Amino acid sequence: MKTADTRSEAGLRTREIQIALLRGVMPTGSTKVPMAELRALLQDLGFQDVRTLLATGNAVFRSGKLGGPKLETLLEKEIAAHIGPRLDVMVRDLAAFRKILAAAPFPAEAEAMPSKVLGTVFKTPPSPDQAHAFEAAITGPEKAKVVGDVAWVVHSNGVAASNVTPQVYRRAFGKLSGTARNWNTFGKILAAAEALA
């Protein structure tokens, strides 16, 4: 049986485990961020158990007490100074990341076609009007739902053939910054973060 102290310790561990999602990372060009350089930077900043995943700008690590917007700002500043690109970074601790996946509104589609289910994680939650505008703009065959700070879309015919273009996002969300990952990638990130818990 878990005691209050045990639950408190577990909560502290999940809050110090951070997931950083970099926006707009490309394998070449002006927004290239080599994952080896990102790992080295995070280690130089004093973070522990650093791991990066794929080449799209995903990292998990222990941050101690630093998290949220302060950690986002630090990472954006340090990446620009030491690696080059000026990129937005979305940070969530493990507890928040678990909730994102648990609240995903299309579990059957995520199971059946995980590469076609995308979630865009925003720095701050869209307003109700923005969420409504986005959902109303999706008339099929895609499906969309905004849950908290994530806009979920099922690209039934694949992302490349989707009617949900970047322009659709911009019309609904304006300058609100976010970065998208598919369900497969969400799962890999969660597994890497859970391994630190």
Structure tokens, 152: 């979920």
pLDDT at 7 > cutoff 70: no
Supply the angle between the helices 166-173 and 128-137 in degrees, to the nearest 10. 150
CATH code for the domain in which residue 22 is found: 3.30.70.1280
Partner residues linked to 60 by β-bridges: 19, 51
Residues above pLDDT 90, as percent of the chain: 87
Q: E strands along the chain, which residues? A: 17-22, 48-53, 58-62, 89-93, 117-122, 143-147, 150-154, 178-182
In a domain, 68, yes or no: yes
- Asked which of 48, 77, 96 is the last residue of a domain, the reply is 96
Output the CA–CA distances (angstroms, integers) from residue 144 to 45, 50, 182, 186, in the order listed.
38, 33, 14, 17
Domain span including residue 75: 4-96
pLDDT tens, residue by residue, 113-126: 999 999 999 999 99
In a domain, 13, yes or no: yes
Find where tokens 């970065």 sit: 179
| Residues 68, 110 within the same domain | no
| Residues 87, 107 within the same domain | no
In a domain, 189, yes or no: no
**Nearest 5 degrees, angle CA 50-CA 55-CA 60?**
25
| Residues 17, 77 within the same domain | yes
Q: E strands along 35-97, which residues? A: 48-53, 58-62, 89-93
Indicate the number of domains in the chain: 2
Q: Are 10 and 91 in contact (CB under 8 A)?
A: no
| Banded pLDDT at 46 (limits 50, 70, 90) | very high
In a domain, 197, yes or no: no
| Residues 32, 83 within the same domain | yes
How many other β-carbons are positioned within 10 Å of the β-carbon of residue 107? Answer: 12
| Residues 64, 114 within the same domain | no
| Residues 42, 76 within the same domain | yes
Structure tokens, 125: 């939650």
Structure tokens, 83: 């690696």
| Residues 87, 106 within the same domain | no
In a domain, 62, yes or no: yes
| Residues 124, 69 within the same domain | no
CA 170/CA 191 separation, integer angstroms: 31
| Residues 74, 129 within the same domain | no
| Residues 20, 77 within the same domain | yes
What is the pLDDT, as a whole number, of residue 64? 87
In a domain, 43, yes or no: yes
| Residues 47, 81 within the same domain | yes
CA 9/CA 107 separation, integer angstroms: 31
pLDDT tens, residue by residue, 52-96: 999 999 999 999 889 999 999 999 999 999 999 999 999 999 999
CA 195/CA 197 separation, integer angstroms: 6
Structure tokens, 90: 């979305």
